[in-house]
Structure 1
């Protein structure tokens, strides 16, 4: 499935008009871990939350930033602001200071924190969506497909409304492979690969990638394989969207589609 820029722009304008009357506030640097864990965790494991200050509860989007699990910073994408959503920008620890599995646990803790505190920010816990770009998309898939991470935080991953990762690694993340001395061009599928945890009862999944000829390494093909395997095991609600003409940095053309998919999935659940 391929899309072009004019379509994105029209979608974006529609959402902007939809939410103009609602007032919003952004609160930054909310800790989601116990301060006794470590100074590094206290520094990194923080959230920025953009939320409506009045009206009914709104769908929640957790946004995990990219950066190869070794860098980057939390963000609330500007395009998602004032669109009738509670948007959460998630910070997390980085390798090599911690292992990749510890970073995945951070993602699960952040998700659980939002579930428990959503009422403070007019968030609708029946409509929680997990998203993010590149490494952030990988984290979104890992905490959803491998249910044990969220189970450890007291939450059932199947209660999520949808997973919409942007150009996610679906084989074992290259930073996890680096921990084992495996080159980034040597594909591996083990317990730290979303593909390893393919299951038919996962929440709806929308996979977004750049152009297959322009993407980072084999990122489009990884996502195409995940989609195929989800369908093979009986998962009924998944799709793959390829943005023609865009490389790995396909965040903007993806954001309007993210909004559209959220709107569609919320209506499906009503």
Structure 2
């Protein structure tokens, strides 16, 4: 399904906030949350200082609760910058959030950062039940470069297979304005212009398949987004439909550019987390 969300910003914010409150509901007065920081998601000691520095995650979760869903969140920054954070819009919503750091270019080259994303997701599969979360309700998401990493690991099953996990166990993939073609930083590492699109094994588009987990694609306004980003996202959606995927959704957030689209995007994320986990109840 394709959604174009248009409105004046104040009305849009009010509408989507009320809509989300109806879907998710506020945290109860007795519900408290805890954050554990800088957990190394690569098992075993490493002599690599950069792995110890970057291959860490934070987990924010409701205490004294069980069976809750988890959102694994990858920050943006072009795979050359950025830092893990727990989005404020996802706090106190009855779910866990795992914020992930990963190694960055140019200190490492492709596919190190994709492998880091897979290792972090595998860690969540293996450990989320220790915090009370349901391993059957894990969603992966991210903005820009983070959306690209989520889509790559969720669609190309080989990344999680090497850690003994199945990407099809994911409850959903929610991609905020990530590259559908091969990422511009990977192209830059190869000496290819960021204006030259490539679709190879490092493009989410290359791995479209009918049996993938539910896929939610969120883009900013096509006139305000990064050059070509909406169009490649729309083509990604179209190709998922062509191969027969039954649960793919495309949202265009009218009036929001590449950076600003994340805030309303979180409300879309919460809506889909709620709907997809309700089916399990």
Identify the TM-score tier after normalising by the shorter chain: over 0.9
Verify: 1:6 aligned to 2:23, yes or no. no
Structure 2 counterparts to residues 148-227 of structure 1, below 5 A:
148-227=158-237
Structure 2 counterparts to residues 215-254 of structure 1, below 5 A:
215-249=225-259, 250-254=261-265
Structure 2 counterparts to residues 32-43 of structure 1, below 5 A:
32-33=41-42, 34-36=44-46, 38-43=48-53
Give the 3-state SS of the residue equivalent to 2:111 in structure 1: helix
Give the 3-state SS of the residue equivalent to 2:84 in structure 1: coil
Cα shift readout 1:45-96 (whole Å, capped 9, x = no counterpart):
1111001110222101000000000100011101101100010000100011
Q: 1:37, CA displacement in angstroms?
A: 5.2
Structure 2 counterparts to residues 45-84 of structure 1, below 5 A:
45-84=55-94
> 2:38 corresponds to which residue?
29
Distance 1:80 1:19, change over 3 A: farther
Distance 1:238 1:140 in 2: 15
TM-score of the superposed pair, with normalisation by structure 2: 0.93
Give the 3-state SS of the residue equivalent to 1:246 in structure 2: coil
Q: 1:99, CA displacement in angstroms?
A: 1.4
> 1:128 corresponds to which residue?
138
Maintained 8 Å contact 1:16/1:82: no
Distance 1:19 1:11 in 2: 18
Distance 1:245 1:6 in 2: 15
Q: 1:120, CA displacement in angstroms?
A: 2.0
Compute the RMSD of aligned alpha carbons. 1.3
Distance 1:87 1:111 in 2: 12
Maintained 8 Å contact 2:39/2:58: yes
> 1:257 corresponds to which residue?
268
Cα shift readout 1:167-226 (whole Å, capped 9, x = no counterpart):
011100000000111111111111110001111110000100100111011111111001
Give the 3-state SS of the residue equivalent to 1:51 in structure 2: strand
Structure 2 runs not aligned, ≥5 long: 6-11
Q: 1:269, CA displacement in angstroms?
A: 3.6
Structure 1 runs not aligned, ≥5 long: none
Distance 1:50 1:243, change over 3 A: same
TM-score of the superposed pair, with normalisation by structure 1: 0.97
Q: How many residues align?
A: 270
Distance 1:19 1:2 in 2: 33
- Stretches of 4+ moved more than 6 A in 1? none
Distance 2:38 2:181 in 1: 31
